[in-house]
Amino acid sequence: QLRIGYYANTTCPNAEKIVGDAVANKYNQTFVTVPATIRLFFHDCFVEGCDASVIIASTGNNTAEKDNPDNISLAGDGFDTVIKAKAAVDAVHGCTNKVSCADILAIATRDAIQLSGGPHYEVELGRLDGLTSTAASVEGKLPKPTFDLNQLNSLFANNGLSQSDMIALSAAHTVGVSHCNRFADRIYSNPVDPTLNKTYATELQSMCPKNVDPDIAINMDMNTPRIFDNMYYKNLLQGEGLFTSDQVLFTDSRSKPLVIAWANSSPAFQAAFVDAITKMGRIGVKTGKNGNIRRDCAVFN
Ligand code: HEM
Ligand SMILES: [Ca+2]
Ligand SMILES: [Ca+2]
């Protein structure tokens, strides 16, 4: 039921352009727009499908997804991007309450990837917004940075995504930041995680000393932190994957060949990424009675 150009023949034919302009404005204010929006889309799709359930705010009688510990570190700029784009859409005659928050997030993610030098692709649209969002529903649905290949594969398989989709999507860690506690076990274990490049491990220790301020976050891709490129895989070849879940893609012989292939070919990586994120965008899509178009992306109608 999703399709490219979904809004073209509706009362809001310029929906994608309006969202695109809002995302570009936000991007000009802060680069964080890019990683924050991409990660928000991922965390949305993996919990209850791509239905903007992650954007719902908690209320007195409901603790929403965004307040689950796995979502607390989602950067506010991702939410803000969707809220701003929604306001821009709703301000246009004919568009008011015609474009779902879930679709706005899908479009904004596509645009964020392109703005930071990643591939451009046509985005499938036609999702409705979900009708539930609970912190409890997040449990076990998102991957942990300590995961090994089997754990990554099974969690992605639960969402209809293959090992190669998982390897491609992991490259989103080519932009954005991580807090020190996510990988502290790797650099402060004895011995230090042997799959880590020694120089890199020392750098990480100096950027993330043992009693570091928990708010400190460091670039996940030290080389091109603001470019959506295949440097993610090149880093893995050097032992510079930040999380266990990153580096395992190179150390496990089952995933290693694709890591090498995509480190060596940006076009091959880009094609695989577009394919994988398009598939991710189809997870658990809501239609008919299962959803609606929210007036306020953070509040159920
Ligand atoms: C494969 C399993 C994955 C694991 C274990 C994982 C885990 C993490 C962790 C722990 C962080 C750091 C959070 C923080 O400390 O603030 C992070 C950041 C991020 N992740 Fe993932 N992630 C995975 C896959 C993905 C996928 C599939 C995407 C998107 C397609 C994605 C996009 C991002 C982005 C863009 C950031 C940076 C956010 C920012 O700078 O605000 N991740 N991830
Ligand atoms: Ca969702
Ligand atoms: Ca990069």
User: Residue 296: helix, strand or coil by DSSP?
Assistant: strand
Assigned CATH for 3-142+281-290: 1.10.520.10
Closest CA to ligand 1's atom 25: 170
Distance between CA atoms of residues 160 and 74, nearest Å: 24
Q: CB burial class (10 A; 0-12, 13-18, 19+) of residue 225?
A: middle
What average pLDDT does this structure show over 133-142? 98
Distance (Å, rounded) from C-alpha 180 to C-alpha 211? 10
- Picking from 158, 123, 147, the residue whose alpha carbon sits closest to that of residue 284 is 158
Average pLDDT estimate for 220-239: 98
* 221 labeled binding residue: yes
For the Cβ of 182 lying below 6 angstroms from any atom of ligand 1, the answer is yes
Largest CA distance in the chain: 62
Kindly state if the Cβ of 143 falls inside 6 Å of ligand 1. yes
The DSSP string of 255-282 is THHHHHHHHH-HHHHHHHHHHHHHHHTT
- ipTM, two decimals: 0.99
Q: Decide: residue 68, CB within 10 A, 0-12 exposed, 13-18 middle, 19+ buried.
A: buried
Q: Residue 218: CB within 6 Å of ligand 1?
A: no
CATH 1.10.520.10 segments of the chain: 3-142+281-290
Residue 180 CA, chain-centre distance (Å), reads 19
Nearest CA to ligand 1 atom 7: 145
For residue 259, what pLDDT is reported? 98
Q: Is the CB of 172 under 6 A from ligand 1?
A: yes
In sequence order, the 6+-apart residues with CB closer than 8 A to the CB of 232 are 170, 171, 173, 174, 221, 246
Give the model confidence (pLDDT) of 14-49 as tens digits: 999 999 999 999 999 999 999 999 999 999 999 999
User: How does pLDDT run across 3-12, given as a tens digit for each residue?
Assistant: 999 999 999 9
Indicate whether this model's pTM tops 0.90. yes
Pocket test for ligand 1, best of 173, 213, 221, 277 (most atoms within 8 A of CB): 173
The C-alpha atoms of residue 185 and residue 209 are separated, in whole angstroms, by: 12
Residue 39 CA to ligand 1 center (angstroms) comes to 6
Report the separation in Å between the CA atom of 229 and the middle of ligand 3, taken as the mean of its atom positions.
Answer: 5
Please tell me whether residue 3 adopts helix, strand or coil conformation: strand
The SS3 of residue 125 is strand
* Domain(s) of CATH 1.10.420.10: residues in the chain: 149-277
Backbone region of residue 248 per phi and psi (left: phi > 0; alpha: psi in -120 to 50; beta: other values): alpha
Whose Cα sits closest to atom 12 in ligand 1?
178
Distance 132 CA to ligand 2 centre (A): 9
- Helices of type H across 144-197: 149-157, 163-170, 184-187
Looking at every residue in the chain, the average pLDDT score rounds to: 97
Cα-to-centroid distance, 208 and ligand 2 (Å): 32
Query: Pseudo-torsion of CA 220, 222, 227, 232, nearest 10°?
Result: -60
d(CA 182, CA 7): 40
> Which SS3 state, helix, strand or coil, does residue 59 take?
strand
What is the residue whose two structure tokens read 């060949």?
A: 257
Tell whether the model's pLDDT for residue 1 goes beyond 90.
no
State pLDDT tens for residues 79-107.
Answer: 999 999 999 999 999 999 999 999 999 99
Q: What is the dotted CATH code of the domain comprising 149-277? A: 1.10.420.10
Residue 43 is a catalytic residue: yes
Q: What percent of the chain has pLDDT over 70?
A: 100
Q: Which ligand neighbours the alpha carbon of 137 most closely?
A: 2
Q: Probe ligand 1: pick from 80, 170, 207, max atoms within 8 Å of CB?
A: 170
Amino acid at residue number 142: L
Nearest atom, ligand 1, residue 35 CA: 35
